[in-house]
């Protein structure tokens, strides 16, 4: 599974589920189809199939997974079950669900076996560099203490992080998202060199989450066009 730069991640975490999650996914799906950039939509495991079967354009993304193979593993999240349910991408090592280095490496390998796009989270540039070495498709480099604050990391953080990660792997996609709230935030991080961004509270707390998704996607597209990515 390949995801082109620039892209947007709509990440409701576990604030939405079932019908509410589907409603927002449909709005994101419409935006993805009309704006024409990749839009990833995360959802609880139980909603993956529901959303996949009712959307056409969004890339359905699991919130995590475990590195097991079919067989024993009661209570763990089997990668094959996610793929079968329609997940094309997976988040790994989010601050709310961290993994050991050994687990993370095994998960990235399992995802590659199933052609699933991996976004590995890191709360420091050092961790982000390690994620590059593990073979992640995209690295979400975000200071954990900024998540949900509405405070975006300063410009130098984005510029320096992109440079540092591309020195290790020029092909890795770099995602900057902590504190991203507005379309202007999205435009700025893509303009500064990031490949993707996204939000949770910035979308869910907006007067209209559907409108906010479209505003963000359009801002990302504009910055991508200015950089010659589109």
Residue 142: active-site member: yes
CB of 157 within 8 A of CB of 146?
A: no
Per-residue confidence band for 153, with pLDDT thresholds at 50, 70 and 90: low
Q: How far apart are CA 123 and CA 172, in angstroms?
A: 17
Per-residue confidence band for 13, with pLDDT thresholds at 50, 70 and 90: very high
- Residue 148 pLDDT > 80, yes or no? no
Q: Which of 30, 88, 94, 218 is catalytic?
A: 94
Query: Per-residue pLDDT averaged across 113-142, rounded?
Result: 93
7-226 folds as TIM Barrel (3.20.20)
- Residue 145 pLDDT > 70, yes or no? no
Residue 218: active-site member: no
CB of 196 within 8 A of CB of 7?
A: yes
User: What confidence score (pLDDT) does residue 144 get?
Assistant: 58
Q: What is the pTM of this model?
A: 0.93
Q: How far apart are CA 12 and CA 205, in angstroms?
A: 11
- List helix spans (H) across 60-169: 79-85, 101-113, 125-133, 155-168
3-state secondary structure of 196: strand
User: What confidence score (pLDDT) does residue 150 get?
Assistant: 52
Q: Which of 34, 53, 80, 142 is catalytic?
A: 142
Which region among 59-68, 150-159, 173-182 has the lowest average model confidence (pLDDT)?
150-159
User: What confidence score (pLDDT) does residue 11 get?
Assistant: 97
């Amino acid at each position: 599974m390949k995801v082109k730069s620039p892209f947007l991640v709509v990440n409701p975490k576990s604030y939405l589920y079932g019908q509410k999650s589907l409603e927002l996914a449909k709005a994101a799906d419409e935006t993805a189809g009309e704006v024409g950039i990749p839009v990833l939509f995360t959802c609880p495991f139980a909603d993956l199939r529901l959303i996949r079967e009712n959307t056409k354009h969004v890339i359905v993304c699991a919130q995590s997974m475990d590195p097991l193979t079919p067989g024993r593993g009661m209570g763990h999240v089997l990668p094959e079950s996610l793929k079968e349910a329609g997940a094309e991408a997976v988040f790994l090592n989010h601050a709310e669900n961290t993994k050991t280095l050994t687990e993370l490496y095994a998960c990235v390998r399992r995802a590659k076996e199933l052609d699933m796009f991996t976004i590995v989270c890191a709360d420091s540039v050092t961790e982000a560099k390690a994620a590059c070495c593990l073979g992640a498709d995209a690295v979400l480099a975000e200071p954990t203490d900024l998540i949900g604050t509405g405070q975006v990391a300063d410009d130098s953080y984005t510029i320096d992080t992109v440079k540092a990660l591309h020195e290790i792997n020029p092909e890795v996609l770099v995602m900057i998202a902590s504190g991203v709230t507005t379309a202007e935030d999205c435009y700025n991080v893509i303009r500064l060199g990031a490949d993707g961004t996204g939000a949770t509270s910035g979308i869910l707390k907006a007067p209209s989450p559907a409108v906010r998704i479209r505003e963000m996607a359009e801002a990302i597209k504009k910055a991508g066009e200015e950089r010659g990515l589109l």
